[in-house]
Amino acid sequence: MKRRTLIQAAPLMLTLPDLALAQAAYPNRPIKYIVPVAAGGGSDMIGRQLCERLGKVLGQSMVVENHGGGGGVIASVMTTKAPADGYTLMQGYVATHGTAPATRKLTYDPIKDFTPLGMIGTTPNVLVVNANAPAKDVKEFIQYVKKNPGKISYGSAGAGSLTHLTAELFKLQTGAFMVHIPYRGIAPATTDLIAGQTQAMFPGLAAALPHIRGGRIRALAVTGNQRHPALKDVPTMEEAGLKGFDAQQWYGVVGPAGMPAPIVKQINDAIAQVLAQPDFRDKLSAEAVELTPMTPNQFLEYMKRDLARWTDLARERKINLDA
């Protein structure tokens, strides 16, 4: 009986050191990095710039794979089904872990089915109006909307997008009613705003900056906690009188649930090293991204708060894309 027990235990005795050695040697093969949007554009650029440097810090190549569609749902499901060994990572962002789970029923849990590895950075949205709109600041815009009930419309990048929910948050806090006009992406929404087909929008700052600087649209306020260096003269929503108004696009790195703690720490340390590189900061400034290093626990709490914010708003405004 003892002999049988020893024989049965032998594979386990051999396996445990092998597992420990495998973790200690991480990474010993290329790492897949899933970007949940199509190639091209700001989010893809952020992922590729990160991977170029992260691979050098980790001493292993990073292979970027783009899997767009479904607001990041396709990429998220792929990530949750991958082995939790550190060789499949994903660039999570506000859609995959905030607005999409808040507005529809998904096959994954944005918190329980992922391992948070580290934040990359955040960028605010910005309240912009058509250049010919009479409002020169947020207070005047609220008055303008209330004096024209049902006549003012705002565009968004699509139903359930951050641009949509941010405008709904604005309506909730101000009591001002605007008609929602959803588009298939931010580009056509911006085109119609410039043309005067819509009167307002809450695009991401990077997408709006060229048009703001060109005088084609007017910036009234940014949604972050502080003024953005790219628009130093534009106040925050808080400064404009909307207390607690916070809505930001964010980007971070996640993996499948259950990743080993030593690997999580190694990746988080590597991300922190990349975020400390001046040239990386310069590259991301083109997308108006403010680097925001966080520990895995800090990033987890951030995701929980963001998800709760949009879930509460979607419930309050009765936004359910499954209906």
Q: Which residues pair with 204 in a beta bridge?
A: 125
Residues 6 or more apart whose Cβ sits within 8 Å of residue 239? 221, 227
Q: Are residues 7 and 116 in the same domain?
A: yes
Q: Are residues 118 and 255 in the same domain?
A: yes
Q: Are residues 219 and 137 in the same domain?
A: yes
* pLDDT for position 24: 60
Q: Are residues 218 and 153 in the same domain?
A: yes
Q: Are residues 224 and 134 in the same domain?
A: yes
pLDDT in tens, the chain (323 residues): 333 333 343 344 434 444 454 456 999 999 999 999 999 889 999 999 999 999 999 999 999 999 998 889 999 999 999 999 999 999 999 999 999 999 999 999 999 999 999 999 999 999 999 999 999 999 999 999 999 988 999 999 999 999 999 999 999 999 999 999 999 999 999 999 999 999 999 999 999 999 999 999 999 999 988 999 999 999 999 999 999 898 999 999 999 999 999 999 999 999 999 999 999 999 999 889 999 999 999 999 999 999 999 999 999 999 999 97
Q: Are residues 170 and 283 in the same domain?
A: no
To the nearest 10 degrees (0 to 180), the angle between helices 261-275 and 296-316 is 90
Q: Are residues 17 and 99 in the same domain?
A: yes
Asked if 224 and 288 touch (Cβ cutoff 8 Å), the reply is no
Domains in the chain, number: 2
Q: Are residues 184 and 257 in the same domain?
A: no
Q: Are residues 113 and 253 in the same domain?
A: yes
Please tell me whether residue 317 adopts helix, strand or coil conformation.
Answer: coil
Asked, for residue 96, whether it belongs to a domain, the answer is: yes
Q: If you count them, how many residues does the chain have? A: 323
Asked, for residue 293, whether it belongs to a domain, the answer is: yes
> DSSP string of 270-313?
HHHHHHT-HHHHHHHHTTTPEE----HHHHHHHHHHHHHHHHHH
> Cα-atom radius of gyration of the chain, to the nearest Å?
22
Q: Are residues 254 and 114 in the same domain?
A: yes
* pLDDT for position 135: 96
Please tell me whether residue 210 adopts helix, strand or coil conformation.
Answer: helix
* pLDDT for position 20: 53
* pLDDT for position 2: 37
Q: Specify burial of residue 179 (Cβ count, 10 A radius: 0-12, 13-18, 19+).
A: exposed
What is the C-alpha separation between 187 and 181, in angstroms, rounded? 13
* pLDDT for position 23: 54
- For residue 222, what are the domain limits? 126-231
Asked, for residue 243, whether it belongs to a domain, the answer is: no
